[in-house]
Amino acid sequence: MEQTYTDENFLDCPVASVQKIVHGKWSMVILYFISQGTLRFGELNRKMPMVTQAYLTKELRMLESYGLVHREVYPQVPPKVEYSLTDMGTKFIPVLESLEKFAIEYNKDKE
């Protein structure tokens, strides 16, 4: 009997809701860098030169909308904007650390 997949099949998978949050091409990398400390937009942009400013802005807004990243705007000229993890974003750090460990082992095995 062939099984068909619908959205209902994914309701039993708690990882599916997280995948929706971190599905962006660079979202995991952004979270990794911000997990190391608060960063201004320009600092983050320099750490990720292969990402356009527009796409970085889009990813940051998405992560902010899901409650993982906090955006602090300071009322000064020139504008100063800093990004940090929220409490929920901080809870994601062990996941990032596990992924980092896996990535290191995976890359060693590929060599």
- For residue 47, is pLDDT > 80? yes
- For residue 13, is pLDDT > 60? yes
- For residue 86, is pLDDT > 50? yes
Three-state helix/strand/coil letters over 5-20: CCHHHHHHCHHHHHHH
Name the nearest CA neighbour of 60 among 81, 37, 88, 74: 81
pTM of the model: 0.82
| For the chain, domain boundaries | 14-110
Tell me what the mean pLDDT of segment 48-69 comes to. 95
The class level of CATH for 14-110 reads mainly alpha
Which pLDDT does position 63 carry in this prediction? 96
Q: Quick one: CA torsion of 57, 62, 65, 69, rounded to 10 degrees?
A: -70
Tell me what the mean pLDDT of segment 24-36 comes to. 93
